[in-house]
Amino acid sequence: MQTTKCFSFEFANCIYMQRSCPGLVSAVSHKSVLWLKVRSQKPAANSKKIVLLPRIMEKERKNWILPVVMGIVLLGSMLVAAGIGVIPIPVKIILQSIGQKLGFFRDLPITDYYQVTIWQLRIPRIVMSVLAGASLAICGGVFQSIFRNPVCDPYILGISSGASLGAAIAFILGWDAALFGITMPALVTALLTLLLILGIARIKGKHNTNTLLLIGIALNFFISAVITLLVVINQKEMHKIYFWTMGSLTHVSWLEIAWLLPVMIACIFILFYHSKSLNIMQVGTETAQTLGIDTQKTTYIVLITSSILISVVVSFCGSIGFIGLIMPHVARLLFGSNNRRLFTYSLFFGAFFLLVADTLARTIAAPAELPVGSITALAGAPYFIYLILKK
């Protein structure tokens, strides 16, 4: 029996392979390292020959059934959430209203009150919660993969603090009444924070992930201190600033969804495109470079792409914590560390989690409303403590 260690391009749980080469090849994975047990019919003189796994391993059959089922469950949950609120609306009326928008059920009367509640208040908010939750979750998966840390979240580089600084300035200057009066300043300061992090790393001359992480943490504390000073000086706007920093989907409109959706689609496409490279990078930078991966370029592309998506989401919804931390970790525990699967299921988990959290935020204390970030924190903090104790 001959044992050879090699690295996998995919994280498979168990793969059994039969090839025309002499012997039976079986593989069982442990994290990102596969141990190949090769039983040769005629032992070769060079028993240490390395077997290149990508040439021997059959591609794993794509499992599309579960994502389709999860998508159907998510759509059903969105319909149910649209009927929950201060004014309960039956799912039947919601379906009829959607049908009228599509050109059906023209003869069925639906009151204008229901139509306005469904299409101007609830549906935009529900759609935004799904898009924002999915975006934060996949970005969390990317950051955990890049920094090789399962307890890393998408706010670790200080992007959310940068957005909060722009929002605080907008509130103090009275821009919150204008269209995109909060969103644009928050987006600009978030992107400036990202550029500042990259600029400092360039001056330092080091482009590894540890340098970016340390710079981001330092800027996060600095910007948080600046926000605290602004709040103390302008206590009149303290409530608005605090509520926004806790995350809220109260004032979401179709126009903001139209801005977020194309950015989200483009960023997610880029992240999935680089998921295979991220898989290889999990086994080590040197190994990835040996296999032809430009690790520095890949790291910068996925970090910048994720940060842009985070900036847009935070500028619309505020800082909603724990989604990017918990949901990728749950997906990893259930479906393994293959980033393609991890990203896919993180999207669904994040969307569903924020949908439930926002529904609770607007119904628990009705007619008042809680910050959605407080709901996610109440659910996420105990799980985070559980992870710490487990480790």
pLDDT of residue 156: 82
283 against 89, higher pLDDT: 89
pLDDT tops 50 at residue 36 = no
Q: How many CA atoms lie within 13 A of 77 on its CB side?
A: 21
Q: Name the pTM for this structure.
A: 0.81
Tokens of 297: 């370029």
pLDDT tops 50 at residue 56 = no
H/E stretch holding 310 reads: helix 295-317
Give the start-to-end residue ranges of the domains of the chain: 2-56, 65-390
Instruction: Give the model confidence (pLDDT) of 296-309 as tens digits.
Output: 889 889 988 998 99
| Least confident among 47-56, 141-150, 375-384 | 47-56
pLDDT of residue 81: 94
357 against 206, higher pLDDT: 357
246 against 41, higher pLDDT: 246
The reply to whether CATH 1.10.1040.10 applies to domain 65-390 is no
Answer for the pair 321, 153: CB distance below 8 angstroms, yes or no: yes
Centroid of chain to Cα 74: 16
pLDDT band, residue 178 (cuts 50/70/90): confident
pLDDT of residue 353: 95
Cis ω before 367 (30° cut-off from 0): yes
pLDDT of residue 31: 36
CA distances, 324 to each of 110, 151, 154, 230 (Å): 39, 9, 6, 28
Task: Give the number of other CB atoms < 10 A from CB of residue 272.
Answer: 14
pLDDT of residue 8: 40
